[in-house]
Amino acid sequence: MEEYIIAVDENDKELGPIEKMEAHEKGVLHRAFSIFIFNSKDQLLLQKRYSGKYHSGGLWTNTCCSHPRYKEKLEEAIYRRLKEEMGFTCELTKLFSFCYKVNFENSLTENEYDHVFIGTYDGEIVPNENEVEDYKWIDIDEVKRDIKNNGHLYTFWFKSVLDKVIESYYLSKE
């Protein structure tokens, strides 16, 4: 099924719709978001991406990440997708945005203007088995240690932004 997402320029100005796979095949910059959920013990909720994903399948990553659909507001997409992937919603706060580009072995390219959000949640998790292979709550020190020793088990974007998210999370609690 075709899904249209939002092509953007380097300032996140909307350029128009692009089919999701086409954006990844051609490496077109597009709008995206990443969600990091913490619990009351300051543990981070990670998901292991479904192995059948078009890229980065079977890798551990942040709680949820995706793209707003064409004509969908970012503020609506974050709640929709968190519910679709992890089976819950909670209040989300935007931390920052950043751009990154990575080429994958399967010739796809992730070129994203990524908006990063955090939230706090302690309830039930009901992951979508077509999106999420596994999930776990993990202490920050433990995930940082595991990335250092087993970085190949984590997504590129998660590793590249984790330290900034952690710093922003603790600052937001002061």
**Catalytic residue annotation:** 65, 112
Distance of CA 173 to the CA centre of its chain: 22
Say if residues 45 and 125 touch (Cβ distance below 8 Å). Answer: yes
Collapsed DSSP state (helix, strand, coil) of residue 121: coil
CB 63 within 8 A of CB 161: no
Please answer whether residues 112 and 29 qualify as being in contact, where contact means their C-beta atoms are separated by less than 8 angstroms.
yes
For residue 72, what are the contacts with CB-CB under 8 A and spacing of at least 6? 80
